[in-house]
Structures are given as structure tokens and as C-alpha cells.
Amino acid sequence: MSSSTYPSAYPFTAIVGMDDMRLGLLLNAISPSIGGVLVRGEKGTAKTTTVRALAALLPEVVTVTGCRFSCDPAAPDPHCPDGPHGGGEQAVRPARMVELPVGASEDRLVGSLDIERALGEGVKAFEPGLLAAAHRGVLYVDEVNLLGDHLVDSLLDAAATGVSSVEREGVSVRHASRFLLVGTMNPEEGELRPQLLDRFGLTVEVAASRETEERVEVVRRRLAFDEDPAAFAAKWAPEEDALRERIAAARALLPGVRLGDGALRRIAAVCAGFEVDGMRADIVTARTSAALAAWAGRTDVTTADVRQAALLSLPHRRRRNPFDAPGLDEDRLDEILAGFEDEEPEPEPEPEPDGPEPDGDGPEGPEGPDDGPDDGPGGGPDGGGRPPRDAGDGPAATTTDDVPPQRQEPGHEPARQEASASGSDDGGEAPAVAASEPFRTRRFTVPGLGEGADGRRSRALTAHGRTTGARRPRGGALSKLHLAATVQAAAPHQRARGRGGPGLVVRRDDLREAVREGREGNLVLFVVDASGSMAARKRMSAVKGAVLSLLMDAYQRRDKIGMVTFRGTGATVALPPTSSVEAGAARLEKLPTGGRTPLAAGLLQAHEVLRVERMRDPSRRPLLVVVTDGRATGGVEPLARAARAAGLLAGSGIASVVVDCEAGPVRLGLAGELGRALGGPVVTLDDLRAENVSALVRTVRNTDSRRAA
């Protein structure tokens, strides 16, 4: 965590490309009520550098001297814990940029009660958190998709309401917390839930430029900045001052911007036309449209403002599941807006403001961020994904060319020819077939009590959940106080501590923290049989649909996922363990079939993947899901080798489930034998559906009785 002003920040006006990201940040600087920006993109694309550069442009903050919550002397927070504030000294400081690390606790984010002072001195002392430090500044969350859900909920609640409330241990604290929220994420590391995506005002996609000249300019400027940051900043100072003044002017103009009925009808039609859920999209689009008008120096919202606002505020709100690609159909957007062409006249466009020219090596050159020395060579100053554009340009100059194409829904591809209609393993490779529609699956869990990352699958000791007991603090740090257990620990020692009257003397050794039980996310490793026997009788479409359904279940339960496939002569790690189920679905869609069935190789490859992952993340427990008909062909004694590999997995204590894909009137029952060797339950493709088990939730713990027998 850091909270600083970055006096040597890379100049915002020297940033190359990244038009949408820069525009989204500027609009939130003008109107923080928009709700922040979520930046999605690959690593090394200048996300951190751009945010730091923007923080340096924000106006200085006038605060009440000594107030830890940065109250404005002109309008102090009536609920400020350090208040009430009367007339007194004032302090002026630059706007802060506060960074929230992925591993931060909830107490660090929202603040906490000083338990030791409260119990030892009888003082209710509140220690402010990062939400207080970020008030009237910027709160930056890198890898926001890796934050715990409880942290994201608290963060976005404060961003939406402008207030942080803390209710715990008998203390109620409420203070103002208004900030510009910026979250960044790499989609390959996993998606945010749709409910949380909706809480971000705007979203933008960034990628490193593939244009040679633009990448050269990025490197040139970065090297110049690293060589002499002060001289580089001085070179761009006039452009920075002009942009700073324009932000201040737009802020002052914003209250006078008129959102007429025509603009509101356009916004409502667009949001309804794209079938976004709820009303937050309409409100955010309206606020963004007004900010765009103020940024252009106008007091009337135009159709161009509504269009640009929709491109920033709607793409992440129209996703129905994690396999949908983000983006917006611009042709559809233009079609909706075209229905309002004659409703009201548009004002004359404002003249373009003065600003840096798009070409050149100095302040006149293209703008674009870089992510600092810690960013990779692929981004920018690591480069922008769109042609350079003046940071002072109005909305009409914003490019919207690179909206990602819509992903074809599963099940809509043309039918593919099967590799082997007879079910033989000797056929060649067959083209990939489309998956059938996903469905809601039964829940499978890992037995025992884990201590992994918060999730929704297996029982675990977590920071949140029902209280099941008490224990001494681990490592000397107290998390959640268990008051009754603390009093019980202190009570027998009161006479020895010289306490003769009412009250209780509590010492550090008496403190007890609550033990809470909730649920964790697991590593779900899929081992998928892609041999010729699986391709027979058009089963692979149903198999892929089942795996897709399990992937969806893993996404909803906050699991990591991985995929091993086996066919022909060996096994392949199709997807190393990751939090991105979107990547898993993409690999599954392209999965080829055909050849023999090296079942033992698939199981041994899975054992190796789990062994390596256990060293990387020992607290995350695995669940093995084997999708096969149980056949094993090729090599010497293939069934015996497969049984030995299954025994190795069972001996390692790995929980498993076998999805039996065998079909037809004659069934060998080999998948059932594999399940017994693995020590896990066996379900058919039909039994995998949750609605087919009469709402009875079965788990791998059912195997305990089998093992005992």
C-alpha cells in the first residue's frame, strides 16, 4: 500500500495512445459520481503510470488541520470521527493516490477499532483505513479481480454512496469517503462477477500498440523520462497546466449542463435496446454524457455525447455469463440513436481546444502512458492500442474502432462430422465439435475443513462466516475479537491482578479471536478424454456441454480451474491452473478428438499438475473431475496401468469425481471401476444435472462410506 502524490509522475499529456482509458479517467476526474473506471487489458500497458499521472493533475485539497479524514473546511463532514470542526487552521496538500494491495484485510480497507486500547484503557479508538486516506483523491486497485468479494463489496459500496460505515465490536463509525476509483485487471486471471462489474461506472479495454512508429515513440519518451524526470516533466509542463485548467473549468461547468428530455429518452432507449439489467446503466450513462458535454465546454448534451457515454458505460453490463465477450454492437447503437434524429436539433459543435499536436518528439508529439520501469516491453509508454490523439480532444475525436467482436454462443456452430461413427479408437483426428447448451450442475465438494481462499464450494476456516469457536491470536495479530471467550479467559485472574471493584482487567494474553467457518474456492482440475471412442455417436457435443456447465459452476463458486486432455499417444495440459474460466471455455471449444485412449497418461499428467500447484498454493485444495467412458487402449496392459495411476491419486488424498460418458445399449462399466480406484463418486452425464437429483446435494464425502467398506 502506498499513499503519495508522485511529484515525478510521468506527464499525462506525454502519454501515447490509450484514448479510451485517458478519456474515462478524465471524465471521472470531472464527475466522480460516475463511479470510477475498470481498465481491462494485458500487462505492461501503462495502467499504473496513467493513474499516477492523472492524480498529479487533480486540484490541491484544502483540509481541516489535524483531521485524519481530510474534511473540507468549507463543508466539514458532520459525522467525522475527528469532528465537530469549527473555525480553525487549514492545510493545503496535493490530491492523494492511495493503492489498495490485493492482500489487504477488511480492517485495513475500512478501518478498525484498536482492541488493545479499548480493553486495556477503556478508550474507543478508531484507526482509519484506506477509504479514509483516499477521500477527495484517487483509490487505485491493481488486479481488482483477485480481491476477495467482501473487500470488493465494501469498496464499491463506498464508491457508490460516498460514505464508509464501520459497525463492529460495539463501535459505530461513519465518515465521508468520496474518491475517483480506478480498478485494473488482466482478464486471463479471471473475471469479476457481473454484479460487481455493474458497480464500476465505466470500463475500457487496453492493449499495446502494434504500430511500429507508435511503439518507437513510447520507448523514446520513456527513456527520456528515466534519464532526467525533472527535465522531461518541465518540457511538458505547459501542456500539463493547460489540461489541469481544463479539468477545473469542466468541473465548474458541470452543474450547469442540461440533460434534456430528448437526451434522457436516447439514454433510456439505448439501455433498453441492449437489455442491460437494472437502472444503474441509465444513471451512469446520463452522468457520463453530462461530463462529456462539460469536457467539451458545452451546457447541452448531444447525441454524440450519449453515443460515447454508452460505449464506455454499457459493454460490461450486457454480459450474461463469463463466456460472453465484452463489447457493444456499434451498428445496433447507431440504429437506436437514428430513431431520434429529428426529435430535437443539435447545437453547433464547439471549436477544438488548443493542445499538443499529434506528431513530433517533444511536447508536440502523441500522448500515451507507460507503466513505469515495472511494466513489460509490450505496453506503454509501453504503447497504446489505438492511434494517438490529443488528450484535450472532445468526444467527437475519440476512436471507437476496436470494440471486440461478439463471441459466437456455444451450440450455434454448424454440425461437424464425427471422427468415428463406430466408436473405434483407431480413427484419425476429427474436427472440433460445438458444445451443447450448459446447465446447472450438482455441487461437489472436497471433504474435510480447509483454509484456502474465500469461495463457495467446500467447508473452510475463513475470515467471514459463522462463529464456531475461539483461539489465541496467531502471530500476535488479533483479527475478530471473541468477546465471551476473552472475558472467560480474563475472569479467573481478577483477584491476582488486584481488581477489587467493578470492571475487568484484561491483558494481552486474555485476548481471543473468533474462529469462523465459511466456504473456500478450490482448484478444479478437469481430465477430459478426447479419444476416438468419445467422439463416437456424437457424444463429444454433450461431453463438452457438461464440462462447460462444470466450468460455469467453478466460476460461480470462485474456483481456479485447469484442464488436462488425453488422446492418441499421450496427455496434454490444455490449460494450466488459472482463475479464468473464460480461457477454459475457449480451449474446450477448440478441443479436437480422435485416436486411442491413453487413460493412464492423462491421470499421471493430472497428478503432476496437482503436485506442482500444491507447492505454489498449498492452502488451495484440489478436486479432480475425470470425464471419460473409462476405456483404456494403447500400450501394454492399459487398464492395469490406468488402475495404478488412479491408486496413486487416491493415495495422495486427492478428492475426485468421475463423469461416466459411456452410452449405448451395451456398457462395460469401466468408468465405475475407475471411480472405485480413485475413491470418488461416479455420475453419468444425465445425473450431473442438479434437477435430476431431486434437489439432493451429493458430494465426494459420500465416498467415506465406500472407503470404510
Give residue-wise pLDDT tens across range 356-397: 443 444 444 434 434 443 443 344 434 444 333 343 344 333
Largest CA distance in the chain: 89
Residue 311 above 50 pLDDT?
Answer: yes
260-295 as b/e, with b when 16 or more CB fall inside 10 Å? eebbbebbeebbebbebeeebbbbbbbbbbbbbbbb
Say if residues 547 and 501 touch (Cβ distance below 8 Å). no
The candidate with the shortest Cα–Cα distance to 600, out of 566, 556, 651, is: 566
177: phi then psi, degrees, rounded to nearest 5: -150, 85
pLDDT given for residue 390 in this prediction: 41
The band of 355, judged by pLDDT with boundaries at 50, 70 and 90, is very low
Return the C-alpha cell found at 170. Answer: 460495539
Query: What's the pLDDT at 673?
Result: 94
Give yes or no on whether 2-237 and 523-708 have one common fold: yes
Grid cell 487402449 — which residue? 633
Is 519 part of the annotated catalytic residue set?
no
Residue (of 562, 679, 674) closest to 609 by Cα position: 562
Among 165-169, 214-218, 286-290, 543-547, name the one with the lowest average pLDDT. 165-169
Q: Identify the CATH class of 523-708.
A: alpha beta
d(CA 550, CA 545): 9
Higher pLDDT pick, 204 / 428: 204
- Decide: helix, strand or coil at residue 99: strand
* Residue 370: predicted pLDDT: 43
Which sequence spans correspond to the domains of the chain? 2-237, 461-519, 523-708
Query: Partners of 469 in the beta sheet?
Result: 515
More confident residue, 599 or 355: 599
Question: 211: pLDDT confidence band, cut at 50, 70 and 90?
Answer: confident
- Taking residues 660-672, report their average pLDDT: 85
Q: What is the pLDDT of residues 96-127, one digit of tens each?
A: 888 888 778 788 888 876 666 665 566 667 78
More confident residue, 130 or 474: 130
Q: Choose the catalytic residue: 280, 443, 587, 698.
A: 280
Give the tens place of pLDDT for each residue, 502-520.
667 888 888 888 888 888 8
Q: In the structure, what pLDDT confidence band is assigned to residue 320 with cuts at 50, 70 and 90?
A: low
Q: Is the pLDDT of residue 459 over 60?
A: yes
Residues for the chain: how many in total? 709
Per-residue cell: 643:
488402475
**Residue 66 or residue 626, greater confidence:** 626
Which tens digit of pLDDT belongs to each residue from 220-276? 999 999 899 899 999 999 999 999 999 999 999 999 999 999 999 999 999 999 888
CA distances, 596 to each of 386, 405, 568, 603 (Å):
47, 37, 5, 15
pLDDT at 516: 84
Domain 2-237 matching CATH 3.40.50.300: the answer reads yes
Per-residue pLDDT band at 413 (split at 50, 70, 90):
very low
Beta-carbon contacts of residue 466 (< 8 Å; ≥ 6 apart): 516, 517, 518
Sheet with 622-628: strands ordered across: 570-578, 560-567, 523-529, 622-628, 655-660, 682-684
Output 447-452 pairs: Cβ under 8 A, ≥24 positions apart.
447/655, 447/699, 447/700, 447/701, 447/703, 447/704, 448/621, 449/517, 450/520, 450/522, 450/619, 450/621, 451/520, 451/619, 452/520, 452/521, 452/522, 452/619, 452/620, 452/621
Please compute the mean of the pLDDT values over residues 616-642 and round it to a whole number. Answer: 91
Query: Residue 451: which of 618, 597, 591, 303 has the closest Cα?
Result: 618
On the question of pLDDT at 399 being above 60, the answer is no
402-411, 580-589, 615-624: segment of lowest average pLDDT: 402-411
